[in-house]
Structure 1
Amino acid sequence: MGFFQNLNFSSANEDGNTELSALAGSRRILCLTGSGTRPLDMLLSTADEVVALDINPVQNALLELKIAAIRSLDYDNLLSFLGVARSKSRLSIYQQLRPELSPAARDIWDRKRNMVRAGVWHAGKWEKLLLWNSRFLRLMRRRDIKQLMRIENVEAQGRLWEEKFASSKLQTALEMIGRDWIWRWVMREPAGEFLPPPQEVGARLNSDFSRAARTFLFKESDFALLIFNGRHDGDGALPVHLRRENYKMLKDRLERLRIVEGGLVDLPNMAIGSFDGFSLSDFGSYSNWQAYEECWKGIVAVADLGARFCERIFMNDMPPPFEKIDVDKTLSEALTVSDKAIIYRVRTGKIHCGDNG
């Protein structure tokens, strides 16, 4: 199976608070589906509708399954079914949820029952990669990692990071998440083609983690938990929509979420209306310059005047292709620093008109 037919992402590797801040006030948001976390996070905004878009039917099917589970289960049973908490009854719960899925999603999950049994939350290729990487990290520095994830003070955390982690073999292990051979041969991602040289990747990630260590507690970052522990659990940091205090609101707003299959370049021909908010994740990681420009043409074609956007940049940093894409540099820099997903640059701003001429 190719990248666009695999379950590549299943949990959370972005900070939904960033998108909620960047797109505040948007009434209709287009959101790339991915693991389904960001579309569900966006339901905690004031938007009247969130449209989740993905070219990969498996990622959309995952979001369908999560929606069905949220609609039917209480909070603790949801965590158990997804795999955030322990369970021995996931397949029986799936049988109860199955009639709520579309025929296409039912077919996908009927063929992936082993994933359902184990819990879909940690089933993605990215999550499995992080699990193996975390085992390697803990093999080298288990005691230091435990201390890092218990620490209560950012200043103390920054000192610990510089003393025990920065410029060490452990830091080299962290850099593995940005090595081109990992993305090309393990993840089978097209993004591997656009990664910079290993030295540049290493320097970027060193800087990102050192900055984050001095900015917020790693134990409060669900992304950091995946990096250092390899998994999430109900007692640790979770994405915005999956926090207990937000669960009732999430349930009440599920009808605002719609799923469609397609890509950003297809938007002008999809007849799904216009949008004043765009949650774009890091789509540029998978694009050469020509593809990146074509995707932005699709976005601009369905953008309302003054529509807000939030884009994440991992390593393939390309400038906006049109002058009408107005980047708010001050807000972008502030959100980059506060973003608990650590490895991204955040680019946010407004689109000045709704055509691509």
Structure 2
Amino acid sequence: MYVGLAIAACLFGLAALLNYTYAKSVIIFAWSCFLKPFNGAADLNDQQAALESFYQSQASIYDLTRSALLQGREMMLQLAASHLNTTMPVWIDIGGGTGWNIEQMDAYKKISGFKAVYLIDLSPSLCEVARKRFAAKKWPNVHIICADATAFSLPDDIKTADLVTMSYSLSMIPMFYAVIDRIEKILSNNGVVAVVDFYAQSTANLCGRSNLGGELLRHVNWFSRTFWRLWFEFDRVYLDPSRRDYLEYQFGTVKSVNSRNNLLGRIPYYIWLGCLKRRDSERARKIDAMATESPYLLPVSTSPELSVIDEDCIIAVRSKGYEAAAINLQRNFPLPSFFYQTEIWRIFYDERLAKYNQFAGEYIYAFTWEDPREDDRILKFKPTDTVLAITSAGDNIMTYAALPTAPHRIHCVDLNPYQNHLVELKLAAFSVLEYHDIWKLFGEGRHTNFGGLLISKLAPKLSSHALQYWLRNQKTFTGSKGLYDTGSTRWAIRIAKFIFWITGCSGDVENLCKATSLAEQKKIYDTKIRPAIINPWVASIVLRNPMFLWKALGVPMHQAEMISSTAGDFLTYITDTLDPIIERSLISSDNYFYYLCLKGRYSASNCPGYLKRESFTRLCKPGALDGIRIHTDEIVDVVARIRKHSVTIAIVMDHMDWFDTDGVDATREIRALNHALKNGGRVLFRSASKCPWYTKVYDREGFKCHAEQVREKKTSIDRTNMYASTWVATKIRDLNGESSVENLVL
């Protein structure tokens, strides 16, 4: 009571500063919600009477006073509109109250574009407000049904609904399970259920479940759970977890977002989109049931028997997605949310596992250092190739896909889920956005309307995990520094810029990025830039710091040891890296790697190949990206579940430099690559060493290695010159059973 009075007083004081009308509305709201939640004279066993006792006095000011409390409604409606793929759909808004949702939806999807819209609500007072609202709008296809959500009737010609929404109403319905069951019966085969509501849950009730589509912010601590449950129960709003749990049990999760109302005490709320558990059963028979290289990632049929009708997909090894689906079906759970995504790029992974939670919630690389032009020169990609490559920031993956001779299949592999969220965002962007938006996002690294694009256009193309990540990290693109000042390697760029600033070289850096000849570039570098960054002070404070090497440059301990053995000192290694670059190509026009580091963005003439306009023409064609699969796992686990001899090229970057020299991990991975590669298939890798120790492991495990490029003093091997050597290992023989799947999967 006293807390309610305090809040009411604060609200009134704030409202009084605004205007009289709003102050009056706030007083009515505070009285109804904090002091007289339900009229004692009413029959509180009668749900309609109880609701009327609560809403009758505030129906006219309901919308004016709910914007701060009921957050997430606009986002729910936008997501619902963007996921609808039915012409002239039927929409049922359960607990629609005053009709605010329907009026707001008109901004995202015209109400005239619906065959029929039905508002269901039990409160006559709220329904009367809705009638007046719709009469003013003159929408003949909008209908109001004042009835219980468990017992409303639709016209005889309306058998199913394509969209069912519940905006802060599920938590107020006593017989919620009956309503959810009713929705399951009337939802069309391709229909969408969208819910936004309060919640108070802990991770304790998630045991054994992998169908949620993202758990970020799902856990609510004990105090908040207890406080908000008790608080809302005064107004017959129930935050018990069973409501959301049953919703997620009856439907497949398409999108799941957990958030907090920071304006009012960080009240937890969620936005959820779902579909029928086993929609489109005929197409679903082609589920990714046997191998992750299968082109299908769709829901399974009602039969628990998971089989593939495509003859070329029938193999003994089954994907993790298959195994998760089988477990869920045995429990009558929905499939993991990945199976209900629109696109087929992202392969199932269980985000609850510890190995995915070691990256502090961020990716390491916002851009990729390896030079794809050299990759193509060495490997000569063909349309018949199947490529397996480390994801990193996805620049190389996208550039391979944009080649005129693009491989027909590209498997992206990264253990860091956030690196894969980044490449998934790039794939989604090329699927739905115009070139100027893509350029702002990934050329400039900034887009002021990123949030709008994410919800209205990109969301249907993203997995639930990726969507929630980017919703939480919108400042990556809307902040002043942009995409290329993110990732842990941003610290290297920031430190370099600080050194330039403190030594008075910032203007010279600008001139370096504008140089029109190699002679001009070299003069600026030799006289101004080089003395600032290549000196004993920088070496002792920065380059010899193991924390800086790992956190800022992404150089782990074992690779740092290889650098020391190659150059003797990290400063010497950096010198051998940078000095030849200046004489190789113009940073202003032909070296987008260093241009980006110095400028924080690309230029139209100096950018990765996938960002050029001619590449956009290729990548935005329907089906152009269908051959890409994104695996969130270790290479060994991925290739063990890909059909044997199906890969022609593997690109593992400098990844094996990170391994312990005892050779155990290297042997395991190289055997896995032997399993996946066909005879004659090639592995491209780079190293900080001129002769990495693991080349001998390749030779022992069925490959023949040769150095494609070795960096010598005053020479560069590509536009980054970041590595001491580039190697190609060609598979020349199988391992006679040594690389069996059983030996590969631990």
> TM-score of the superposition, structure 2-length normalised?
0.44
Structure 2 partner of 1:241: 610
The answer as to 2:601 corresponding to 1:223 is no
Between stretches 311-320 and 259-268, larger displacement belongs to 311-320
Structure 1 partner of 2:362: 6
The answer as to 2:681 corresponding to 1:325 is no
Q: Distance in 2 between matches of 1:152 and 1:272?
A: 50
The answer as to 2:655 corresponding to 1:287 is no
Among candidates 683, 691, 697, match of residue 309 of structure 1: 683
Assess if the C-alpha contact under 8 Å between 2:675 and 2:734 holds in 1: yes
Q: Distance in 2 between matches of 1:60 and 1:138?
A: 34
C-alpha RMSD of the superposition: 3.0
Q: Distance in 2 between matches of 1:187 and 1:263?
A: 23
Amino acid at match of 2:632: E
Cα distance change of structure 1 residues 346 and 282 upon mapping to structure 2, 3 Å threshold: same
Instruction: Summarize deviations over 1:125-152 as a string: whole Å, max 9, x none.
Output: 2134313422422442123323322222
Shift of 1:63: 1.0
Instruction: Summarize deviations over 1:177-199 as a string: whole Å, max 9, x none.
Output: 68522034x44957145413595
Structure 1 partner of 2:218: none
The answer as to 2:723 corresponding to 1:349 is no
Among candidates 73, 76, 80, match of residue 440 of structure 2: 80
Cα distance change of structure 1 residues 92 and 153 upon mapping to structure 2, 3 Å threshold: same
Shift of 1:52: 0.7
Among candidates 92, 100, 105, match of residue 461 of structure 2: 100
Q: How does 1:1-357 map to 2 (within 5 A)?
A: 2-3=358-359, 6-26=362-382, 27-43=385-401, 44=403, 45-82=405-442, 84=444, 86-96=446-456, 97-118=458-479, 119-140=482-503, 141-166=505-530, 168-172=531-535, 176=542, 179-184=545-550, 186-187=551-552, 191-196=556-561, 197=564, 200-219=569-588, 220-229=590-599, 231-235=600-604, 237-252=606-621, 253-273=624-644, 274-289=646-661, 290=663, 291-314=665-688, 317-320=692-695, 321-323=697-699, 324-329=702-707, 331-333=708-710, 337-353=716-732, 355-356=734-735
Cα distance change of structure 1 residues 272 and 126 upon mapping to structure 2, 3 Å threshold: farther
Assess if the C-alpha contact under 8 Å between 1:310 and 1:348 holds in 2: yes
Cα distance change of structure 1 residues 8 and 333 upon mapping to structure 2, 3 Å threshold: same
Cα distance change of structure 1 residues 70 and 131 upon mapping to structure 2, 3 Å threshold: farther
Amino acid at match of 1:182: F
Cα distance change of structure 1 residues 83 and 112 upon mapping to structure 2, 3 Å threshold: farther
Q: Which has the higher contact order (CA 8 A, sep 6+)?
A: 1
Q: Distance in 2 between matches of 1:112 and 1:76?
A: 21
Q: Distance in 1 between matches of 2:629 and 2:607?
A: 23
Q: Distance in 2 between matches of 1:204 and 1:16?
A: 22
Instruction: Summarize deviations over 1:296-328 as a string: whole Å, max 9, x none.
Output: 222222111111222122369434122143334
Which entry has the higher C-alpha Rg, 1 or 2? Answer: 2
Q: Distance in 2 between matches of 1:300 and 1:313?
A: 20
Assess if the C-alpha contact under 8 Å between 2:640 and 2:672 holds in 1: no
> SS at the partner of 2:682?
strand
Unaligned runs of 5+ in 2: 1-356, 739-746
Shift of 1:156: 4.2
Shift of 1:265: 2.1
Q: Distance in 1 between matches of 2:523 and 2:553?
A: 37
Assess if the C-alpha contact under 8 Å between 2:386 and 2:408 holds in 1: yes
Q: Distance in 1 between matches of 2:585 and 2:543?
A: 21
Assess if the C-alpha contact under 8 Å between 2:443 and 2:611 holds in 1: no
Instruction: Summarize deviations over 1:98-141 as a string: whole Å, max 9, x none.
Output: 12111222232233333353354542221343134224224421
Assess if the C-alpha contact under 8 Å between 1:130 and 1:227 holds in 2: yes
Cα distance change of structure 1 residues 283 and 234 upon mapping to structure 2, 3 Å threshold: same
Assess if the C-alpha contact under 8 Å between 1:32 and 1:279 holds in 2: yes
Shift of 1:264: 1.7
Q: Distance in 2 between matches of 1:192 and 1:95?
A: 41
Cα distance change of structure 1 residues 112 and 297 upon mapping to structure 2, 3 Å threshold: same
> TM-score of the superposition, structure 1-length normalised?
0.86
Cα distance change of structure 1 residues 346 and 244 upon mapping to structure 2, 3 Å threshold: farther
Assess if the C-alpha contact under 8 Å between 2:448 and 2:477 holds in 1: no
Number of positions where the alignment pairs a residue of Structure 1 with one of Structure 2 = 353
Give the fraction of aligned pairs with identical amino acids, expressed as a percent.
Answer: 16
Structure 1 partner of 2:264: none
Q: Distance in 2 between matches of 1:214 and 1:158?
A: 7
Shift of 1:272: 4.8
Q: Distance in 1 between matches of 2:639 and 2:614?
A: 38
Instruction: Summarize deviations over 1:324-349 as a string: whole Å, max 9, x none.
Output: 433343x4249x83411221234232
Write 1 or 2 for the structure with the bigger share of helix.
Answer: 1
Shift of 1:224: 0.8
Q: Distance in 2 between matches of 1:251 and 1:162?
A: 43
Between stretches 202-211 and 105-114, larger displacement belongs to 105-114
Unaligned runs of 5+ in 1: none
Q: Distance in 1 between matches of 2:497 and 2:555?
A: 24
Q: Distance in 2 between matches of 1:205 and 1:232?
A: 23
> SS at the partner of 2:438?
helix
Assess if the C-alpha contact under 8 Å between 1:180 and 1:193 holds in 2: no
> SS at the partner of 2:653?
coil
